[in-house]
Amino acid sequence: METHEIGLTIRDGVKVYPGTIALNHVDFDLHMGAVNVLVGENGAGKSTMMKIVAGVEPLTSGAMELFGKPVRFHNKNQAEAAGIGIVFQELNLFPNLTVAENIFIGREKTRMGIDIDRDYQRAETRKILKRLEHEDIDPDTPLGDLRIGQQQIIEIAKSLAQSARILILDEPTSALSAAEVDILFRVIRDLKADGVGIVYISHRLEELVRIGDYITVLRDGLVTGARSMEGIDVGWIVKNMIGGASKDFPKTEVQAFGAEIFRAEDITLPRMGGGYLVDHISMSVRAGEILGVYGLMGAGRSEFFECVMAQHPSSGGKFFVEGKEVRERSVAGRINRGIALIPENRKQDGLIEILSIRENITLSSLKDFTRIFHMSLAKEARAAAEYVRKLSIKIASLENPVSSLSGGNQQKVVVSKALMTNPKVLLMDEPSRGIDIGAKAEMFRTMRALTAQGLGIIFITSDLEEVMALSDRIIVMADGRISGEFDAGAVTSEDLVAASTPGRTEEKETPLEEAAS
Amino acid sequence: MSSAVANPSKDNQSGAMLLLLLKARTFIALIVVFTFFAFAAPNFLSTANMIIMSKHVALNAFLAIGMTFVIITGGIDLSVGSIVGLCGMVAGWLILNGVDIGLGWTIQFNTLEIMLIVICVGILIGLINGLLITKLNVAPFIATLGMLYVARGSALLSSDGRTFPNLNGSAEYGNHTFYLIGAGDFLGIPISIWMLVAVGIGAAYVANRTPLGRYIYAVGGNEKSAGLSGVNVHMVKIAVYMFSGFCAALVGLIISSQLVASHPATGNMFELNAIAAAVLGGTSMSGGRGKIAGTIIGAFVIGILSDGLVMMGVSAFWQTVIKGLVIIAAVVVDQAQQKLQARVVLQQQAALND
């Protein structure tokens, strides 16, 4: 194998966010004229590392060198000026502007500094799109009219237009079709030949083996493997991603499960521009059972919960609670039937930060304290205080705004709100997100205690250890479908990772789809 | 143990004291303004002046109460001034013409019936506002701006821009008592003030002691979370615009009764005074925060300020400038209070974690 010049290095890089260490003394070499692959579980620190390279975030400590010279970027523009381009996982585009305007945003080609040279921008855009084999996209179409996959191509075109020497692609294929992926790979090979150093982040492991020249594996902010890609297979990657042997978790004694308490049948949620976000999902949970739903971001797990909670009028399928169909179309109706959701994003969907702790806890159950229309504040405060004690929420006063609490305590407030509605089934979306380890353990104990009382719990997580430690049964989702179902006792982390890799289900299903269309 | 508060240090105490002062700032402003004019303006403290002034204030206070609910949900209602005008015209029409049902006679209504019909018109306009905002997803600013024009235009159309004069009614139809809404009194206090007391207490009760009130705050605080918690966001929003329309209808009735005439331009710019009173009373324009009592005090500050300045003989141009400055100052102080409050709460929480 030929040797590649090292363009950028990080030595002893540390990045600390409030509460967590995202990068723990990492070393990283970026080879020019090659594809440097970066893998790891969600939250392993891949995106953080690339944000540092691209100047979006500064290093807490450690050194970064670009072509042998120490550099420290304070913002993205400095990194861009140094020839580093990044394509983020989330698109950073302007739907109301045209394709050409998007590609030249922030560095418009002007005549005498005032008048934008539209003809030049259009011509350049055509040239770049030709290189990306997407001549069919007109530079003058508003970006919002394009499919998500095409938008992703535009995002890549934007970086190409800056003639970056180092190009970071953060999960560029997550929204692309197989044909588009092939085009992208051809472009990447061209760029390589031009001497561009490429960093490629993806969860599709087969893809990495196909395209990569060097690989760096991250786990919990540590680099667990860094070498050239030669002789590496998917098994080696998985082993380094999740550690040599899975830790053993003390399992609470197996309880006898009750009857089926919640069932979802054939749930669908169409995606804008064709296909499904939630693709005919069926699952059921029994009283006293914890069902873990594992998968990567974008697998359609949260969307499934949103369908259950009546957030998508366009969704299809049926739900049953205790065998009886749920026909209610309103959130309140579904809460009444015994479904409760603990959303993934506490601040956005779970809490009303401006209101007090008491008001947040009781928001879903005000009827319990109301006669005709008169609400008993004393009764309400008693009920809220009871849950504060039950879940040992640490508060100075019930009347303080909920925003003054720590993440773990805020999460307990959301859980209290859900429990106060006397649910039969509890949907928890990433219940341990953004809370510290102690609070996590407490949350898990609470979950076990709840199932002992006969609740059914479905919880979503992207954390392998968590899903294996906590679930009685595990469902893996990928690309909106269920790609595997396992008994928690018998499953290995390798099985779960393999099932959650989106590429596999896609290959398997492609002939079917072609036949259907 | 959960309610145990750590011993406040000296620093905390002065902070808490300052916070209390800031919280009561509208009330303090009211006392300051009142005392100032008591000395500076002749006859300010006379009973006659008090009654006249409170009548002025009541008009704005009604609108401001309705506006407060709307603003707490994160919306705005620009149409209230026009609803006042239109409702006044409806009342005038009913007294002068009755309703022609096309059989050669007209139906005439007594005072109570007229009040009910006019109130229904106000609520109906509020309902249209609410439906536009929720079902058709029109931004509140735009929907109610449109309604501002539509209602004002309708008011002008109803009389070709003329005034309906001499709304004395007739004893035969039972609407000769119409003038009492604005001019009557009970136990020496004007009827309109009694109505304000009733609406104010009712609104404060709804805000604090009913689920609807809690939902209004929740929707303004975080619409998405409220929806996921089972709050019917659309219903709540429609309800607040209907209530705002109700308040505007009351003002329309009172004004046309006081003047014994209705003029289609009545209520021009009233919406801005209502918003000013709500903001002065501590209502946050970004939603989720506000108190009915604060709004009423805010209305009194604005009302006393403008009447007092008139009595002192200050030019109308200066009055406008002063009113504007007071509003801006109120919001600046409000921001300071929010910052301080957040700090005090965080200190309490930190003390707990030690």
3-class DSSP string for A168-225: EEECCCCCCCHHHHHHHHHHHHHHHHCCCEEEEECCCHHHHHHHCCEEEEEECCEEEE
Model confidence over A273-329: pLDDT tens digits? 677 888 889 999 999 899 999 887 778 888 899 999 988 888 888 999 998 998 888
* pLDDT for the residue A108: 81
* pLDDT for the residue B196: 94
Higher per-residue pLDDT: A150 or B223: B223
Cα gap A358→A402, rounded to integer Å: 9
Least confident of A149-163, A210-224, B197-211, B273-287: A149-163
Q: Is B229–A417 a contact, with Cβ atoms under 8 angstroms apart?
A: yes
| pLDDT at residue A204 is higher than 80 | no
**Kind of pairing between the strands at A290-295 and A316-321:** unpaired
In a domain, B64, yes or no: yes
Cα gap A199→B292, rounded to integer Å: 58
Residue of B nearest to A333 (CA): B230
Cα gap A340→A419, rounded to integer Å: 8
Cα gap A470→A289, rounded to integer Å: 10
Which residues, 6 or more positions from A249, have their beta carbon under 8 angstroms from its beta carbon? A465, A468, A469
Q: Does B166 touch chain A (CB under 8 A)?
A: no
Which residues, 6 or more positions from A47, have their beta carbon under 8 angstroms from its beta carbon? A89, A170, A201
Which residues, 6 or more positions from A25, have their beta carbon under 8 angstroms from its beta carbon? A12, A13, A14, A62, A222
Tokens of A53: 């390279």
> A354, A364, A376, A380: best mutation site toward chain B, by most B Cβ within 10 Å?
A354
Which residue from B209, B226, B352 is facing A396, i.e. has the nearest CB? B352
Cα gap B91→B178, rounded to integer Å: 9
Of the pLDDT bands very low, low, confident and very high (cuts 50, 70, 90), residue B110 is confident
Q: Is A375–B229 a contact, with Cβ atoms under 8 angstroms apart?
A: no
User: Residue A324's closest CA among A425, A410, A244?
Assistant: A425
- The alpha carbon of residue A214 is apart from the nearest alpha carbon of chain B, in Å, by 44
**Mean pLDDT in residue range A485-503:** 80
**Mean pLDDT in residue range A252-260:** 72
Most confident of A164-168, A329-333, B140-144: B140-144
User: Residue A201's closest CA among A87, A294, A79?
Assistant: A87
Which residues, 6 or more positions from B113, have their beta carbon under 8 angstroms from its beta carbon? none
CB B247 within 8 A of CB B63: yes
* pLDDT for the residue B307: 87
Amino acid (one-letter) located at A334: R
Place of tokens 């925003």: A403
In a domain, B301, yes or no: no
Most confident of A122-131, A205-214, A470-479, B118-127: B118-127
3-state secondary structure A288-348: CCEEEEEECCCCCHHHHHHHHCCCCCCCEEEEEECCEECCCCCHHHHHHCCEEEECCCHHH
* pLDDT for the residue A514: 40
Termini Cα distance of chain A: 44
Residue of B nearest to A421 (CA): B229
- In angstroms, the Cα distances linking B158 to A357, B60, B93, B263 are 51, 25, 8, 10
Q: Provide the number of CB pairs (under 8 Å) joining chain A to chain B.
A: 112
* pLDDT for the residue B276: 92
**Mean pLDDT in residue range A367-382:** 89
Parent domain of B214:
47-268
Model confidence over B63-78: pLDDT tens digits? 999 999 999 999 999 9
Which residues, 6 or more positions from A24, have their beta carbon under 8 angstroms from its beta carbon? A14, A220, A221, A222
A364 chain-B contacts, CB cut-off 8 A? 229-230
A353 chain-B contacts, CB cut-off 8 A? 221-222
Q: Does B335 touch chain A (CB under 8 A)?
A: no
Q: Is A385–B348 a contact, with Cβ atoms under 8 angstroms apart?
A: no
Cα gap B4→B354, rounded to integer Å: 13
- Angle of helix B140-159 relative to helix B80-96, nearest 10 degrees, comes to 30
| pLDDT at residue B83 is higher than 90 | yes
**Mean pLDDT in residue range A339-353:** 88
Tokens of A514: 């072609």
B210 chain-A contacts, CB cut-off 8 A? 370, 373-375
CB A299 within 8 A of CB A269: no
In a domain, B26, yes or no: no
Q: Is A404–B222 a contact, with Cβ atoms under 8 angstroms apart?
A: no
pTM of the model: 0.77
* pLDDT for the residue B143: 95
Helix or strand holding residue A408 (H, E): helix A407-420
User: Residue A314's closest CA among A368, A254, A271, A283?
Assistant: A271
| pLDDT at residue B223 is higher than 80 | yes
| pLDDT at residue A458 is higher than 90 | yes
| pLDDT at residue A19 is higher than 60 | no
User: Residue A66's closest CA among A22, A135, A8?
Assistant: A8
Phi/psi at A479 (nearest 5 deg)? 50, 40
**Mean pLDDT in residue range B89-116:** 84
- Angle of helix A148-161 relative to helix A118-131, nearest 10 degrees, comes to 110
CB A421 within 8 A of CB A365: yes
| pLDDT at residue B22 is higher than 80 | no
Cα gap B213→B102, rounded to integer Å: 44
Model confidence over B149-186: pLDDT tens digits? 999 999 999 888 888 888 887 777 877 788 888 888 88
Q: Give chain B's mean pLDDT.
A: 87
Which residue from A341, A351, A359 is facing B214, i.e. has the nearest CB? A359
Residue of B nearest to A312 (CA): B228
Residue B289 DSSP label: -
Q: Does B202 touch chain A (CB under 8 A)?
A: no
**Mean pLDDT in residue range B122-126:** 96
Which residues, 6 or more positions from A54, have their beta carbon under 8 angstroms from its beta carbon? A73, A76, A79, A84, A85, A86, A168
- The alpha carbon of residue B242 is apart from the nearest alpha carbon of chain A, in Å, by 18
Q: Give chain A's mean pLDDT.
A: 83
Q: Does B23 touch chain A (CB under 8 A)?
A: no
Q: How many domains are contained in chain B?
A: 1
In a domain, B304, yes or no: no
Cα gap A106→A377, rounded to integer Å: 54
* Whole-number percent of chain A with pLDDT over 90: 15
* pLDDT for the residue A49: 87
* pLDDT for the residue A440: 75
Q: Is A375–B222 a contact, with Cβ atoms under 8 angstroms apart?
A: no
| pLDDT at residue B12 is higher than 80 | no
Which residues, 6 or more positions from A127, have their beta carbon under 8 angstroms from its beta carbon? none
Of the pLDDT bands very low, low, confident and very high (cuts 50, 70, 90), residue A249 is very low
Which residue from A352, A397, A398 is facing B225, i.e. has the nearest CB? A352
Question: CA gyration radius for chain A?
Answer: 25
Cα gap B312→A470, rounded to integer Å: 76
Residue A350 DSSP label: I
User: Residue B247's closest CA among B129, B150, B154, B123?
Assistant: B123
Tokens of B235: 């219903």
| pLDDT at residue A403 is higher than 90 | no
| pLDDT at residue A509 is higher than 70 | no
Instruction: State whether the Cα torsion A302-A304-A309-A313 is positive or negative.
Output: positive
Tokens of A238: 């998985």
A393 chain-B contacts, CB cut-off 8 A? 2
Which residue from B218, B228, B345 is facing A343, i.e. has the nearest CB? B228
CB A238 within 8 A of CB A41: no
A398 chain-B contacts, CB cut-off 8 A? 2-3
Cα gap B50→A241, rounded to integer Å: 78
Of the pLDDT bands very low, low, confident and very high (cuts 50, 70, 90), residue B348 is confident
Which residues, 6 or more positions from A495, have their beta carbon under 8 angstroms from its beta carbon? A484, A486
Of the pLDDT bands very low, low, confident and very high (cuts 50, 70, 90), residue A508 is very low
A350 chain-B contacts, CB cut-off 8 A? 225, 228
Tokens of B198: 């009733």
Of the pLDDT bands very low, low, confident and very high (cuts 50, 70, 90), residue B250 is very high
Cα gap A418→A421, rounded to integer Å: 6
3-state secondary structure of B29: helix
Q: Does B288 touch chain A (CB under 8 A)?
A: yes
Which residues, 6 or more positions from B257, have their beta carbon under 8 angstroms from its beta carbon? B91, B167, B178, B179, B180, B181, B182, B183
In a domain, B340, yes or no: no
Sequential DSSP letters for A250-278: PPPPPPPP-SEEEEEEEEEEEPTTSSEEE
Tokens of A171: 């999960």
Q: Is A375–B214 a contact, with Cβ atoms under 8 angstroms apart?
A: yes
Residue B78 DSSP label: T
In a domain, B71, yes or no: yes
Q: Is B318 exposed, middle or buried (CB count within 10 Å of its CB: 0-12, 13-18, 19+)?
A: exposed
* pLDDT for the residue B7: 45
Amino acid (one-letter) located at B120: C
Cα gap A429→A461, rounded to integer Å: 7
Instruction: State whether the Cα torsion B113-B119-B123-B125 is positive or negative.
Output: positive
Numbers of helices and strands, H then E, in chain B? 14, 4
Q: Does B214 touch chain A (CB under 8 A)?
A: yes
In a domain, B109, yes or no: yes
Of the pLDDT bands very low, low, confident and very high (cuts 50, 70, 90), residue A252 is low
Residue of B nearest to A330 (CA): B230
In a domain, B329, yes or no: no
Q: Does B224 touch chain A (CB under 8 A)?
A: yes
Model confidence over B286-319: pLDDT tens digits? 888 999 999 999 999 999 988 888 888 888 888 8
Of the pLDDT bands very low, low, confident and very high (cuts 50, 70, 90), residue B10 is low
- The alpha carbon of residue A310 is apart from the nearest alpha carbon of chain B, in Å, by 9
Which residue from B210, B221, B230 is facing A335, i.e. has the nearest CB? B230
Q: Is B222–A354 a contact, with Cβ atoms under 8 angstroms apart?
A: yes
A363 chain-B contacts, CB cut-off 8 A? 214, 218, 226, 229-231
- The alpha carbon of residue B344 is apart from the nearest alpha carbon of chain A, in Å, by 10
Most confident of A164-168, A352-356, B31-35, B204-208: B204-208
**Kind of pairing between the strands at A260-270 and A316-321:** antiparallel
| pLDDT at residue A1 is higher than 60 | no
Sequential DSSP letters for B221-284: H-HHHHHHTT--HHHHHHHHHHHHHHHHHHHHHHHHHHHTSB-TTTTTTHHHHHHHHHHHTT--
| pLDDT at residue A175 is higher than 70 | no
* pLDDT for the residue A438: 66
Q: Does B231 touch chain A (CB under 8 A)?
A: yes
